């Protein structure tokens, strides 16, 4: 991946409304993806759209997610099914001086491609490891190994990103110029998704310590920062 | 709305995997919707699924959202377009003793129906008011009134909920019984979306106070609690 690489733009992923908020370069798109754990995936069955929440992660220009919803999603495993995976960071609500200028700051990515089940055994084994280690670095090495039955029962979906766009609004209050003088209270209210106090399992044998590799999962941290650092650690790239 | 009313269940909205997590009653579905502000909407154009983040709210068994994406979404205004609106509360990550039992606690709703532009002038005026007041009770009364041009430039999408399902996982760690004795650290890590410190606009005239109606939007509050209370206040129902 070079820092100047970009995803191709066409009618599907071009940011149409407030197009100045759009970006297509790998760096911007990937950073927003790697700062998240939850995505929503849209797919179609017999003309009916479905929007399913899922945990996901990126590897290069591929997105992976757990195939729990795959039973009804991926009917055609050989050629794949068109899908759109979206990640949204909801950063603030913006209370302007008019209803028109009530808004929100956010950072979102929409990624398009063909979703298919991972069938190659080596790719699947790697994906089943990264499904844990991408979020909790080096964790699988500490776990009870996966059984053959578990591996068979778990499906992984992969989607090569064919097109993608990032859309960012970060300007806070943006009222009509003539409205600023009005005696109306206006403010931006930031929102944060934070990590709470970890709750150790009450059934652990005595003497089992929390591994150091979970240090980033600490009370009060911003989830997106922890996820970015975990990504950097798991894939050995700069944080 | 009666407390025992439920949405009809068929192949589209039946919770298939871990079906014991599914619920279809209005009370459960509506509470999860009313605790949220951000939804993801799936719709289809020429076989291509799109997943778009949007602010939304509920009124009875109808969902409303801002029509910003409607330009390419709603081609057929008369009959509506099939859509799926999904809300996800991401409550925790669950680190079990095996890769298989790594999971997440969450509360999600998928709602299905036909999305259409609001065309009735009275319904649209009401929707443009509630688009603000549902989140910030009684706020439009304090604002510079909406102009005719602004109203024309804003489109509102409505979807009568035809089918819906709630899916809730809240059991935390659920390892295989024989794994509990292993010397492996296991924990649940809660996640919270919280309100940060409100940032007043720096261009307000002197003496403009924060309205009391924003009291629920206070530093440190859980966003979902503030949204539930705002809903109850805006629609005059119990919190």
| CATH number of the domain residue B31 falls in | 2.30.110.10
Q: Determine, yes or no, domain membership for B202.
A: no
Regions in chain A scoring below 70 on pLDDT: 1-3, 19-20, 68-78
Q: Is the pLDDT of residue B2 over 60?
A: no
Q: Determine, yes or no, domain membership for A209.
A: no
SS3 content of chain B, % helix, strand, coil (to 5): 25, 35, 40
Q: Determine, yes or no, domain membership for A200.
A: no
Q: Determine, yes or no, domain membership for B58.
A: yes
- Helix (H) or strand (E) holding A157, with range, is strand A156-160
Q: Is the pLDDT of residue B70 over 50?
A: no
In this prediction, residue B72 carries a pLDDT of 62
- Domain limits for position B91: 19-192
Q: Is the pLDDT of residue B73 over 70?
A: no
Q: Determine, yes or no, domain membership for A8.
A: no
- Residues of chain B with Cβ-Cβ distance to A150 below 8 Å are 98-100
A100 with B146: CB under 8 angstroms? yes
Q: Is the pLDDT of residue B20 over 70?
A: no
In 3D space, the residue among B107, B16, B18, B84 whose CA is nearest the CA of residue A84 turns out to be B84
Question: Residue B123 has which token pair?
Answer: 């319904």
Residue of B nearest to A135 (CA): B93
* Averaged pLDDT, B168-189: 97
In 3D space, the residue among B18, B6, B36, B3 whose CA is nearest the CA of residue B108 turns out to be B36
Q: Minimal Cα–Cα distance from A124 to chain B, Å? A: 14
Q: What is the DSSP string of B60-113?
A: TTEEEEEGGGHHHH-S-TTT-EEEEEEEEEEEEEEE-SBGGG-EEEEEEEEEEE
Query: CA A35 to CA A57: how far, in whole Å?
Result: 10
- Give the count of domains, chain B: 1
Q: Is the pLDDT of residue B75 over 80?
A: no
B30 with B24: CB under 8 angstroms? no
- Residues of chain A with Cβ-Cβ distance to B75 below 8 Å are none
In this prediction, residue A234 carries a pLDDT of 95
pLDDT (tens digit per residue) in B22-55: 999 999 999 999 999 999 999 999 889 999 999 9
pLDDT band, residue B76 (cuts 50/70/90): low
Q: Minimal Cα–Cα distance from A238 to chain B, Å? A: 25
Q: Determine, yes or no, domain membership for A38.
A: yes
Contact B55 A132 (CB under 8 A): no
pLDDT band, residue B58 (cuts 50/70/90): very high
Q: Is the pLDDT of residue B108 over 80?
A: yes
In this prediction, residue B66 carries a pLDDT of 86
In this prediction, residue B1 carries a pLDDT of 46
Q: Determine, yes or no, domain membership for B35.
A: yes
Q: Determine, yes or no, domain membership for B146.
A: yes
Question: Given A52, A55, A84, which is nearest B104 (Cβ)?
Answer: A55
- Give the alpha-carbon dihedral of B222, A188, B111, B94, to 10 degrees: -40
- Helix (H) or strand (E) holding B122, with range, is helix B121-133
Q: Where are the beta strands (DSSP E) in B118-208?
A: 156-160, 163-169, 187-195, 199-200
């Amino acid at each position: 991946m070079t820092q100047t690489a970009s995803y191709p733009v066409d009618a599907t992923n071009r940011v149409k409304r407030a197009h100045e908020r759009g970006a297509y370069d790998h760096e911007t798109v990937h950073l927003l993806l790697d700062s998240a754990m939850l995505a929503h995936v849209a797919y179609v069955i017999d003309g009916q759209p479905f929007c399913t929440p899922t945990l996901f992660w990126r590897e290069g220009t591929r997105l992976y997610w757990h195939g729990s919803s795959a039973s009804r999603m991926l009917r055609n495993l050989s050629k794949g099914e068109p899908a759109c995976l979206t990640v949204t960071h909801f950063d603030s609500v913006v209370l302007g001086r008019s209803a028109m200028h009530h808004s929100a700051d956010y950072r979102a990515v929409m990624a398009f491609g063909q979703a298919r089940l991972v069938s190659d055994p080596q790719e699947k084994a790697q994906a089943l490891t990264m499904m844990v280690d991408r979020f909790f670095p080096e964790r699988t090495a500490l776990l009870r190994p996966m059984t053959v039955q578990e591996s068979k029962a778990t499906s992984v979906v992969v989607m090569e990103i064919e097109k993608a766009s990032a859309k960012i609004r970060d300007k806070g209050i943006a009222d009509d110029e003539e409205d600023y003088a009005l005696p109306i209270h206006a403010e931006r209210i930031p929102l944060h998704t934070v990590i709470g106090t970890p709750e150790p399992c009450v059934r652990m044998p005595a003497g089992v310590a929390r591994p150091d590799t979970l240090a980033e999962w600490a009370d009060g941290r911003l989830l997106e920062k922890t996820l970015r650092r975990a990504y950097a650690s798991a894939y050995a790239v700069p944080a």
